[in-house]
Chains A and B, each alone.
Chain A
Amino acid sequence: MMSTTRTTADRSAVRTLLRLWPYVRPVRARLFTAAAVAVVASCTGLVIPLVLKWLVDGPVAGHDPAGVWLGALYLLLLGIAEAVLFGIRRWLVARPLSRVEAEMRAGLYRRLQRLPVAFHDRWASGQLLSRGTTDLMLLRMFLAFPLTFLLVNGVTILVGVIIMLVQDWMLGLVILGPAVPVMWTCAVFERRYARVARRAQDQVGDLTTVVEESVLGIRVVKGFGRHRSQARAFRELAGRLRGTELRKARLLATIWGVIVALPELAIGAALVLGAVRVADGELTAGTLVAFLSTALALRWPVDSIGFLLAMTQEAATATERYFEVMDEAPEDAAEGSGEGTAPGAVGVSGAATASGSLPVPRAEVRAGAGAGIRFEGVRFRYPDAPPGSPPLLDGVDLHIRAGESMALVGATGSGKTTLTALVPRLYEVTSGRITLNGVDIAEIPREELRSRVAVAFEEPTLFSASVGENVLMGAPDGAGKPELDRALAIARADFAHALPQGTDTRVGEQGLSLSGGQRQRLALARAVVGRPEFLVLDDPLSALDVHTEAAVEAALRQVLADTTALIVAHRPSTVLLADRVALLSGGRIAAVGTHRQLLRDNAEYAHLMSGRREESR
């Protein structure tokens, strides 16, 4: 599976968790106040035994009814204070912590939308999703609980120990005895637990991926009756996760066993020693009761350290996983206008800063010579391709004149789709350049570039929104019904008007499922709705039947008359939409000409178009 584990061996949980600070900062006031309140509340709890001591040694021993009433009143007031303070603590953090979680999730979503497409090729979306859900929930729980309570319990233990030392230093020292071994166990445990926790979280991500794929590929699974073997694969992964979780439990059990047993032993020792000293008259019974009462009150703070540390470790690995994604540099940090710069975002890489945001006046100047789309020595190799492998595109030179439409033909897997993805900069050229009207696309802000270049993908993806919204995505703001109707007419997608709620019908994953041909026509409408300057169509008519195709072509011709277009084509009928054809072969443009010219002169082209080999006419 696509495990993304990185070495967790030597990293400090604290340093990792400190990276959360930018997200926590906005709510720091409330969080700190809440922590302070919690400390006070806990200490209030510690004062209660002292009042008891005073009550037992004073009014009770002295048979003083009025004193008893007073003592009980103090107890009640302290009790109310404790309750209210704990309530205030929770109330203070409830909304802010939900906000931190939401902010981090929004930040992740924002960043993921802007990471290079190559990043998404590499990462299974299940791994991304598990970071946005399970990991963030772990973080919120960490901020709500372990963070506060490690502090609160630490202070409580400290104050409790001081109180005990003040009451009787000898017994106090006895109680402190197990501190060192407990801390040592914690330290050892922390390191091991971190490793296992990380593995578990990665396995959750893998499991999410399997679930997602089995749902998205349900037709294949069903078509081949493979749901048993899918279930087996799932079970195996889930079983592996179970194994990891059990290892986690073993570690937790060890630490908890130690943390429960050692302090209890100390209390026992203190009791025996205390009893001897009470018998010898060196200690009052009241002091011993108060002392032990304090010691017992510290039980929970001490016991809880085990799982608080465990949660902290999990939070640290969750943070690590979260920032693995957040640390990836977005497409262009400088220009992303929509990038609400998440707090804690990594340093903006200076990639496209200098020229990116400048206006581009040269367009006019060079319009004559470089008008249209020009590929100059374009080489491209996928960023994660094995080193030494030949580039997919190896010196593409091609000029599509302004207003001209160029068909791109090539064998399956020759890099046609990749070439089209370079124009809107979904991928960056490895070397060489692509110019639009003479301006290097690397110098055009992506936002602007993509508003000028409209694309219809081979796989027509519709989003969960209405038909109208899906189509108008391609139009500038303010486009409305006339544009929509025009685009639907061009793409021969008039069926949209006949849907249950017309163009308001929801489609996409959460709506009506349309056939491949219908989706393709909507995707085409989306590409042409904004009357783009440049149009890139990747095999736009592959799923259409002959009649529909002919109708779409007729309408599309009018659009193409004054648009600069690059059209990937597999069939002669699509090629005929274009003014000229370019043949992509061996990573280069092998020939450019009209369909008839190439059919006559180029054997490879003739083969691609007719399927007949060595039979060029």
Chain B
Amino acid sequence: MTTTSASTPAVADDDPDRSRDVDGSGGAGGKDDAFDRDVLPTPPGATAALLRSLLAPMKARVALTTLLLLLQQAAVQAGPLLVAYAIDTAVPAFRNDRDGPLIAVAAGYLLCALASGALQFAFIQVSARVSQDVLLDLRGRIFRHAQALGIDFHERYTSGRLISRATTDVESLRELLDEGLQELVTVILSFISVSALLLWLDLGLGAVAVASFGPLYLLVRLYRRRAGRVYGAKSTAMAAVIVKFTETMNGIRPVRAFRRETANDAEFAILNARHERTNGDALLEMARYVVGSRLVANTAVAAIVLWGAHRVAAGSLELGVLAAAVLYLRRLYDPIDRLGMFLNSYQSAAASLEKIAGLLAQEPTVPEPDVPRRLPSTQRDFPGREVVFDGVRFGYRTGGEVLPRFDLTLPAGQTVAVVGSTGAGKSTLAKLLARFYDPSAGRVLLDGVDLRELSTAELRRGVVMVTQEAFLFSGTVADNIALGRPDAGREEIERAAKAIGAHEFISALPDGYDTDVRKRGGRISAGQRQLVAFARALLADPAVLILDEATSSLDVPGERAVQRAMATVLRGRTAVVIAHRLSTVEIADRVLVMEGGRIVEDGAPDELIAGTGRFADLHRAWRDSLA
């Protein structure tokens, strides 16, 4: 693994911008490398807008949290004030046998202590509710949006990155909300209240304290700028680690069989090291900030004490006031570490939110219509619909298969077999009909209605596609079949399985239909998975069924059983069957032969077989292959 593209992650460069560029050059198309660099364009202000929109429904509760914190801080800040009162008033009063003030101090402290405890208790719970609701909202938004985005997006974004967005990036917002928000409110409140108290205690001392905010502000600004960069790079690095991790775990068999372990370790080490470096960078930025801010704070304390002590010595300041001022000063500067922590989680969350906002800003290439139309109703015993490709053109953004202008009408109820070599455009045809993609020009019509005008629910009642990769979700076999129609009962599920010839093997599983398929059906063979996928499609009961090489892993009897089932199931339905095994053709009413994105032959199977064209050729070859 020493060639150029594999070594791209090896770029050891502290400048995130540069390393991103190098990253991009190794990418697939090379043209549109925002995907490769994991930097989708985020519209200006989108990050802030996202945060605002997340917090907007929480306004009342955020206000409540702030109020609770305000009261809690008031209870806490009362401490030194009571100390000052005790020393300057209560002690002399007590000497004069007036114990009223001292009792007041005792009562005040008792109240403050209990109040601060109770308020802390309430605050944590309310703020946790706010932050959990925001996270729930955000997770849901990411998930829903990712599901709404088109197949073309998923083909380029990679699952690892999406997982990273929905997990680690959300996690960093969680840190901000859990700790950061509290830090921020505490910091602001104590800055304001302590400054006010100091100014009230003594204008001069207070002014010095307030003046120290200037350099602190500069420090904060510097830190934000630098940390923002570091955290952006860190989030990208983490996503790269996750991509590699998931890819390895999902392909563990070939990894093992081809002894990729050591090479993978090396590649992972590079990505991991990049994350490690950005991680360390972030921690060091924090260290710099802490030193700087502590220095400013401690210098200010020394200066204020110096001046205050002089004034006490000179008699222009009471000792109790100085004592209280000094106690408050410690409190004034205590939160600067916490401010650092807040900035830390803020920067980390901002970097993550920016990536999330970039994801959410992606427009679905296959959007739902604003005003969906309904399909005309069909007869009970004739559910099929007419399909028309009207001047359709299509080209993938990443290059590859292209469909030149294309016109085709499939009458309702017709079963059409599409054959042709790899890259002839068969799958593109199927994907356009299933509306995995929208055509670049022209329209695909279902009973005269443009697919783009149908809601997802309506579209899927109309068109369902079964692909070669029969993906099983974790859950039971029954759950997986029921995916075709979630409201289906067990009886209907079993009927669908029986119709397709899957009932036998499912019944033989340890728990029958309730067997957990575990991780992507590790225990269920590829052929069996295709049967489950078929049963799923049957259950969905669509008007148009697309089968894209959906029987490739079945053995001959299995395929026969599926065909027998289809002969009855497809009656009255429109079906598009893509298969390289021409046995499928036996159930087809019509055959389309595709070549280079065009239909080169079109006719009834017998007609074409009798002729001298490509299909006759293919058919002969296939007959020979049956030996």
Task: Out of B163, B322, B468, B554, name the residue touching A570 (CB < 8 Å).
Answer: B554
- Which of B86, B250, B522 makes the CB contact (< 8 A) with A275? B86
13 A-B pairs whose Cβ atoms sit less than 8 Å apart in the complex:
A2-B518, A68-B310, A98-B277, A102-B273, A133-B167, A249-B129, A253-B123, A256-B120, A257-B117, A269-B106, A504-B3, A523-B254, A611-B556
Q: Is the CB of A98 within 8 A of B283?
A: yes
Q: Which residue of B lies closest to A516 (CB)?
A: B468
Surface stretch bound by A, among B47-55, B523-531, B596-604: B523-531
Residue of B whose beta carbon sits closest to that of A244: B132
A258 CB-CB contact with B under 8 Å: yes
Within 8 A of B (CB), among A596-617: 607-611, 613
Are B260 and A458 in contact, with the CB atoms below 8 A? no
Verify A512–B28 contact, CB threshold 8 A: yes
Determine, out of B56-64, B373-381, B405-413, B455-463, the stretch whose residues face the partner at the interface. Answer: B455-463
Q: When the two chains form the complex, which single residue of A68, A121, A125 contacts B246, counting CB atoms closer than 8 Å?
A: A125
CB of B309 within 8 A of CB of A71, answer yes
Task: Answer whether residue A83 sits at the interface, using C-beta atoms and an 8 A cutoff.
Answer: yes
> What total of chain B residues lie within 8 Å of the partner, measured CB to CB?
195
Does chain A have a CB within 8 A of B386? no
Query: Which of B187-195, B219-227, B286-294, B489-497 forms part of the interface with chain A?
Result: B286-294
Q: Is B415 an interface residue (CB 8 A)?
A: no
Partner of B523, one of A59, A90, A382: A382
Which residue from chain A places its CB closest to the CB of B548 in the assembled complex?
A516
Indicate if the CB atoms of B313 and A68 lie closer than 8 Å.
Answer: yes
| Contact A546-B162, Cβ < 8 Å, known A113-B252, A129-B246 | no
Expressed in whole angstroms, the Cα–Cα distance for A267 and B553 within the complex equals 77
Which residue on A lies nearest to B298, using beta carbons? A79
CA distance A126 to B163 in the complex (A): 9
A491 to chain B, nearest CB (A): 13
A424 touches B121 (CB 8 A): no
Q: Complex Cα distance A288/B160, Å?
A: 60
Residues of chain B contacted by A458 (CB below 8 angstroms):
526, 553
CB distance from A605 to the nearest CB of B (A): 11
Q: Is the CB of A82 within 8 A of B294?
A: yes
Most chain A C-beta atoms within 10 Å of own C-beta, residue among B5, B168, B272 = B5
**Separation in Å of the B459 CB from the closest CB of chain A?**
6
- Contact of A125 with B295 at beta-carbon distance under 8 Å, contacts A68-B306, A90-B286, A293-B327 already known: no
Which residues of chain B are near A235, meaning CB under 8 Å? 136, 140, 143
Q: By the criterion CB–CB under 8 Å, are B560 and A611 in contact?
A: yes
Q: Assuming A473-B258, A512-B28, what are 9 further A-B pairs, CB within 8 angstroms?
A: A83-B297, A123-B519, A211-B167, A412-B505, A426-B257, A455-B254, A474-B258, A549-B580, A550-B625
B607 within 8 A of A: no
A543 B549 Cβ-Cβ under 8 A: yes
A364 at the interface (CB under 8 A from B): no
Are A105 and B272 in contact, CB atoms less than 8 angstroms apart?
Answer: yes
Q: Are B559 and A611 in contact (CB under 8 A)?
A: yes
Kindly list chain B residues whose C-beta atoms are within 8 Å of the C-beta of A68: 306, 309-310, 313
Any B CB within 8 A of the CB of A218: yes
Nearest CB of chain A from residue B315's CB, rounded to whole Å = 8
Q: Is A349 an interface residue (CB 8 A)?
A: no
List which A364-423 residues lie within 8 A (CB) of chain B. 382, 385-386, 389, 410-413, 416-417, 421
10 A-B pairs with least C-beta separation:
A79-B298, A261-B117, A268-B109, A225-B460, A249-B128, A87-B291, A90-B287, A83-B294, A257-B121, A72-B306
CB < 8 Å: which of A129, A272, A382 contacts B102? A272
Do B471 and A611 touch across chains, with their CB atoms under 8 A apart? no
Per-position binary interface string of chain B over residues 107-145, scored 1 when its CB falls under 8 Å from any chain A CB and 0 otherwise? 001101110111011111100110011011001100110
B519 lies within 8 A of A121 (CB): yes
Task: Tell me whether A461 and B113 are in contact (CB under 8 A).
Answer: no
B251 nearest CB neighbor, chain A only: A461
**Residues in chain B near residue A249, CB distance under 8 A:** 124-125, 128-129, 132
Q: Which residues of B contact A292 (CB under 8 A)?
A: 83, 327
Are the CB atoms of A279 and B95 closer together than 8 Å? yes
Q: Which of B1, B82, B279 has the most CB of A within 10 A?
A: B279
Q: Mark B302-332, 1 if CB is under 8 A from A, else 0.
A: 1101100110111000010011001100110
Among listed A15-23, A433-441, A463-471, interface-contacting one = A463-471
From A237, which residue of chain B is reached at the shortest CB distance?
Answer: B139
Residues from chain B with a CB closer than 8 A to the CB of A59 are: 309, 313
Q: Which of B196-204, B208-216, B263-271, B440-448 contacts A (4 or more CB under 8 A)?
A: B263-271
Do B422 and A545 touch across chains, with their CB atoms under 8 A apart? yes
* A326 CB within 8 Å of chain B: no
Contacts A76-B299, A98-B277, A572-B626; is A293 near B330 (CB within 8 Å)? yes
Is B162 within 8 A of A215, CB to CB?
yes
Q: Which residue of the partner chain, among B4, B238, B291, contacts A133 with CB atoms under 8 Å?
A: B238
> Contacting A122 at CB < 8 Å: which of B284, B400, B518, B557?
B518
Give bound CA distance, A63 to B525, whole Å.
93
Assembled-state Cα–Cα distance A249/B126 (Å) = 9
Does B36 make an interface contact (CB < 8 A)? Answer: yes
Residues of A within 8 A of B140 (CB): 231, 234-235, 238
Q: Are A121 and B264 in contact (CB under 8 A)?
A: no
Among the listed stretches B13-21, B146-154, B354-362, B566-574, which one makes contact with chain A, having 4 or more residues with CB under 8 Å of it?
Answer: B146-154
State whether the Cβ of B484 lies closer than 8 Å to any Cβ in chain A.
yes
A276 to B287, CA, bound (A): 44
**How long is the Cα–Cα vector from A238 to B134 in the complex, in angstroms?**
12
- Shortest Cβ distance from residue B517 to the other chain A in the assembled complex, whole angstroms: 11
User: Interface code A247-278, partner B: CB below 8 Å = 1, 0 otherwise?
Assistant: 01110111011101110110111011011101
Chain A neighbourhood of B244, CB < 8 A: 464
A397 CB, min distance to chain B CBs, angstroms? 22
A442 within 8 A of B: no
Residues of B within 8 A of A461 (CB): 250-251, 253-254
Does A362 interact with chain B (Cβ within 8 Å)? no
Please pick, from B112, B275, B280, the residue contacting A264 in the complex, using a CB distance under 8 A. Answer: B112
Query: Which of A220, A300, A611 is close to B557, meaning CB atoms less than 8 Å apart?
Result: A611
Binds B, one of A150-158, A201-209, A315-323, A559-567: A201-209
Residues of B within 8 A of A269 (CB): 106, 109
What chain B residues lie within 8 Å of A421 (beta carbons)? 253
- Give residues of chain B (508-558) contacting chain A, Cβ–Cβ below 8 Å: 508, 510, 516, 518-520, 522-528, 531, 533, 536, 540, 549, 552-558
Give chain B residues whose Cβ lies under 8 Å from the Cβ of A466: 3, 5-6
- When chains A and B are docked, how far (Å) is the Cα of A99 from the Cα of B90? 56
Q: Decide: B553 and A570 in contact? CB cutoff 8 A.
A: yes
A87-B291, A285-B319, A609-B556 known; A234 vs B143 contact (CB < 8 Å): yes
Identify A610's interface contact among B117, B516, B553, B556, CB under 8 A: B556
Asked if B432 CB lies within 8 Å of chain A CBs, one says no
Give Cα A229 to B260, complex, Å. 38
B305 touching A515 by the CB < 8 A rule? no
A208 near B163 with CB under 8 A, answer yes
Instruction: Write the chain A residue with the least CB distance to B243.
Output: A510
CB-contacts of A65-107 with B (<8 A) = 65, 68-69, 71-73, 75-76, 78-80, 82-84, 86-87, 90-91, 93-95, 97-99, 101-102, 105-106
Are A224 and B464 within 8 A (Cβ)?
A: yes
Contact of B474 among A64, A137, A213 (CB under 8 A): A213
| Closest beta carbon of chain A to B523's beta carbon, Å | 7
User: CB distance B460 to A211 under 8 Å?
Assistant: no
Q: Could you tell me the distance between the alpha carbons of A223 and B144 in the complex, rounded to whole angstroms?
A: 16
With A338-B265, A506-B26 as given contacts, are A121 and B553 in contact (CB-CB < 8 Å)?
no
Beta-carbon contacts under 8 Å, A293-349 to B: 293, 296-297, 300, 336-338, 340
**CB-defined contacts of A468 to chain B, threshold 8 Å:** 3
Q: Residues of B contacting A474 with CB < 8 Å?
A: 258
Nearest CB on A from B89, distance (A)? 10
CB atoms of B309 and A542 under 8 A apart: no
Residues from chain A with Cβ under 8 Å of B469 in the complex: 219, 459, 516
Tell me whether B536 and A450 are in contact (CB under 8 A).
Answer: no
B132 neighbours in A (Cβ, 8 Å): 242, 245-246, 249
A469-B1 in contact (CB<8A): yes
Chain A residue nearest to B268 (CB atoms) is A109
